C-alpha cells in the first residue's frame, strides 16, 4: 500500500504539466493495471511503469449506448471522471471513491514519463462490491508460484468464471525478495483476471514478508493480515507466518475481528493448513506418524469454533483437501468448521499420506481452483481441476 491521502492528489488535467520536473525515461507499463481492495463505493487500482512517471486514471460509470449513436464511442464521454497525482513513481496506486454499489465502471490508466511521452492502458472494466442482499461468487486458489504457464491456465479459467473477486491463499512467488518474480510469476500470468477482478492474498511463506508484497499490494492495514466484507460475508485474512500464540497481537486481533462481525457467513483464509493429510510435511508417513496439520495454526482452531467460522481456506500443501465439519477434535456435522486446502495452483504437486485421515471428506492430487457462490443463506462450492472437471461439490444452508 502506498499510503497517500487522496485529497492531496486529486488534480485535473495534470498530465499536461511541464516535462522538466520528471526524471529521464520513456514509460512502459510492466505490470497491471490490476485491481486490489474493493468496497461498495471504492476500488483500488495499481500498475507499474519501468521508469518514474506521474500518473492518473480516467474512469466513468458504464452506460447504455444512446439510441441512434453509431461507430466507436467518444472515450472522453465514457471516461468522464479522472484522478491523478503529481508524485513521480514507478508503482502507481489510486483509490477511486464515491462509486455506486454493484456498478460497472470503465477505466484507463495513464502515465507520463520524463520525455513527455505518455503511455496508457486499454480501456478496462470493473464492478464495485455487491449489495449485502445480492448473490456473488469468488474464486479461491493458491500456491501459484514457480510455474507461470500453468498458473496462467488456471487464472484464465478463473477469469472465465467471471467471479466478483479472487481469494489467494498465498505463495504467489517462489521468493518474494526477488522483485522480478512478482511480475514473471504472479502479476503477468494473472493479468487478464487481475485487471478486471480484485484479488485478495493471504501472505505465504514464500513471500518471505518481503517489502515487495507490501509495494505490490493494497489491502486494509497492516496488509499481512486484514479483513473485509463482501455481500453478506465477512473475510478474515490471517498471516500464518507470524506469531499466533495466545496473547499475540495478531491472535487478539483475530478474536476481536471475528467477534465484531455480524455477517451471515464468516470465512477465514491463511496459508498454512490446520488439518492436512500431506505425506511428509508434518511427519514422514513412510516411517512415522504425521501430526496431520500445521503446528503454526493449531491455536486458531478453538477460536474458529467459538466464533462460528464457516470455512477456513488455506494452501501451502500443493493439492486439494476438504475436511468434514470439525469441532472439538471430531466430526460435528451440525456445528463444525470446514477446512479447505486449495494449494494446487501451479507449484509441483505433493503427495498424500498413504492412509485416510479421520477428518478427510475429499482429496485430489491435481492442479485446481475452487469457485464459491453465495446467495443469502445458500453457499455452494465447486472445485475444478486443470482440465475443467468438477471433482468436488459442497452445499451449505443456514
Q: Where along the sequence are the contacts to Fe ion (CB under 5 A)?
A: 171, 204-205, 316
* Residue 248 CB neighbours (<10 A): 13
CB of 175 to Fe ion, least distance (A): 12
Give the nearest distance from C-beta 225 to Fe ion in angstroms: 16
Number of neighbouring beta carbons within 10 Å of residue 146: 17
User: Across the strands, what pairs with 77?
Assistant: none
**Residues composing the chain:** 398
Query: Whole-number minimum distance, CB 316 to Fe ion, in Å?
Result: 4
Q: DSSP letters along 50-109, please?
A: EEEEEEEEEEEE--PPPTT--SS--HHHHS-EEEE----EEEEEEEE-SPPTT-EEEEEE
CB of 150 to Fe ion, least distance (A): 16
Smallest distance, Å, CB 205 to Fe ion?
Answer: 4
Which H or E element spans position 151?
A: helix 148-160
Contact criterion met (CB below 8 Å) for 270 and 309? no
Q: How far is the CB of 79 from Fe ion (least distance, A)?
A: 40
Q: Nearer Cβ to Fe ion, position 32 or 345?
A: 345
DSSP string computed for 153-204: HHHHHHHHT--SEEEE-S--SS-TT-HHHIIIIIITTTHHHHTTS-EEE---
* CB 320 to Fe ion: min, Å: 15
* Closer CB to Fe ion, 126 or 282, in the complex: 282
| Cβ nearer to Fe ion, comparing 142 with 325 | 142
For Fe ion, give the closer residue by CB, 158 or 314. 314
Residue among 102, 158, 111 at smallest CA distance from 130: 102
Q: Residue 138: which residues within 8 A CB-CB, separation 6 or more?
A: 163, 164, 165, 166, 167, 230, 371, 372
Please, which residue, 121 or 205, has the CB nearer to Fe ion? 205
Question: Taking Cα atoms as reference points, which of 132, 138, 85, 141 lies closest to residue 112?
Answer: 85
How many Å separate Cα 77 from the centre of its chain?
Answer: 32
The smaller minimum CB distance to Fe ion, of residues 171 and 181, is found at 171
Query: Which residues lie below 8 Å from residue 60, measured CB to CB, with a gap of 6+?
Result: 77, 78, 79, 80, 81, 105, 106
Chain residue at closest Cβ approach to Fe ion: 316
* CA-wise closest residue to 376 among 265, 268, 267: 265
Q: Judged by CB, which is closer to Fe ion: 206, or 307?
A: 206
Based on CB atoms, which residue is closest to Fe ion, 202 or 311?
Answer: 202
Closest approach of Fe ion to the CB of residue 319, in Å:
13
Kind of pairing between the strands at 265-269 and 311-314: parallel
Least separation in angstroms between CB 135 and Fe ion: 32
Which residues, at least 6 apart from 310, have a Cβ–Cβ distance to it below 8 Å?
A: 265, 266, 267, 337, 338, 379, 396
Half-sphere exposure of 244 (CA within 13 A, CB side): 21
Q: In this complex, which beta carbon is closest to Fe ion, that of residue 84 or of residue 144?
A: 144
C-alpha cell at 106: 470503465
Beta carbon of residue 242, minimum distance to Fe ion (angstroms, whole number): 14
In the bound state with Fe ion, the residue whose beta carbon lies nearer, of 266 and 316, is 316
Distance CA 290, CA 287 (A): 10
Amino acid at each position: 500500500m502506498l499510503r497517500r491521502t487522496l485529497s492531496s492528489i486529486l488534480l485535473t488535467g495534470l498530465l499536461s504539466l511541464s516535462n522538466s520536473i520528471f526524471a529521464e525515461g520513456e514509460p512502459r507499463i510492466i505490470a497491471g493495471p490490476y485491481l486490489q481492495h474493493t468496497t461498495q463505493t471504492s476500488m483500488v487500482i495499481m500498475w507499474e511503469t519501468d521508469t518514474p512517471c506521474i500518473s492518473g486514471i480516467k474512469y466513468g460509470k458504464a452506460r447504455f449506448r444512446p439510441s441512434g449513436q453509431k461507430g466507436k464511442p467518444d472515450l472522453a464521454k465514457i471516461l468522464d471522471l479522472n484522478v491523478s497525482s503529481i508524485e513521480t513513481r514507478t508503482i502507481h496506486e489510486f483509490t477511486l471513491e464515491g462509486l455506486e454499489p454493484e456498478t460497472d465502471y470503465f477505466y484507463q490508466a495513464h502515465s507520463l514519463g520524463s520525455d513527455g511521452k505518455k503511455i496508457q492502458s486499454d480501456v478496462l472494466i470493473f464492478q464495485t462490491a455487491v449489495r449485502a442482499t445480492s448473490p456473488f461468487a469468488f474464486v479461491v486458489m493458491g500456491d501459484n508460484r514457480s510455474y507461470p504457464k500453468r498458473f496462467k491456465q488456471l487464472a484464465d479459467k478463473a477469469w472465465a468464471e467471471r467471479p466478483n473477486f479472487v481469494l489467494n491463499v498465498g505463495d504467489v512467488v517462489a521468493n518474494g525478495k526477488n522483485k522480478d518474480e512478482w511480475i514473471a510469476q504472479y502479476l503477468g500470468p494473472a493479468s487478464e483476471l487481475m485487471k478486471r477482478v480484485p484479488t485478495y492474498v493471504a501472505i505465504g511463506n514464500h513471500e518471505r514478508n518481503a517489502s515487495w508484497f507490501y509495494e505490490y499490494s493494497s489491502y486494509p492495514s497492516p496488509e499481512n493480515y486484514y479483513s473485509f466484507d463482501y455481500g453478506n460475508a465477512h473475510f478474515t485474512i490471517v498471516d500464518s507466518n507470524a506469531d499466533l500464540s495466545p496473547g499475540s497481537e495478531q491472535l487478539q486481533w483475530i478474536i476481536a475481528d471475528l467477534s465484531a462481525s455480524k455477517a451471515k457467513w464468516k470465512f477465514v483464509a491463511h496459508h498454512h493448513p490446520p488439518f492436512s493429510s500431506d505425506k511428509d510435511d508434518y511427519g514422514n508417513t513412510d516411517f512415522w506418524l504425521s501430526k496431520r496439520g500445521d503446528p503454526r495454526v493449531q491455536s486458531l482452531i478453538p477460536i474458529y469454533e467459538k466464533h462460528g467460522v464457516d470455512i477456513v481456506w488455506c494452501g501451502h500443501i500443493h493439492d486439494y483437501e476438504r475436511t468434514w465439519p470439525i469441532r472439538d477434535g471430531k466430526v460435528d456435522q451440525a456445528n463444525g468448521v470446514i477446512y479447505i486446502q486449495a494449494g494446487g495452483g501451479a507449484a509441483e504437486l505433493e503427495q498424500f499420506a498413504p492412509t485416510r485421515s479421520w477428518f478427510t471428506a475429499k482429496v485430489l492430487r491435481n492442479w485446481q481452483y475452487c469457485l464459491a457462490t453465495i446467495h443469502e443463506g445458500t453457499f455452494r462450492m465447486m472445485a475444478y481441476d486443470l482440465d475443467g472437471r468438477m471433482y468436488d461439490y459442497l452445499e451449505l444452508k443456514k
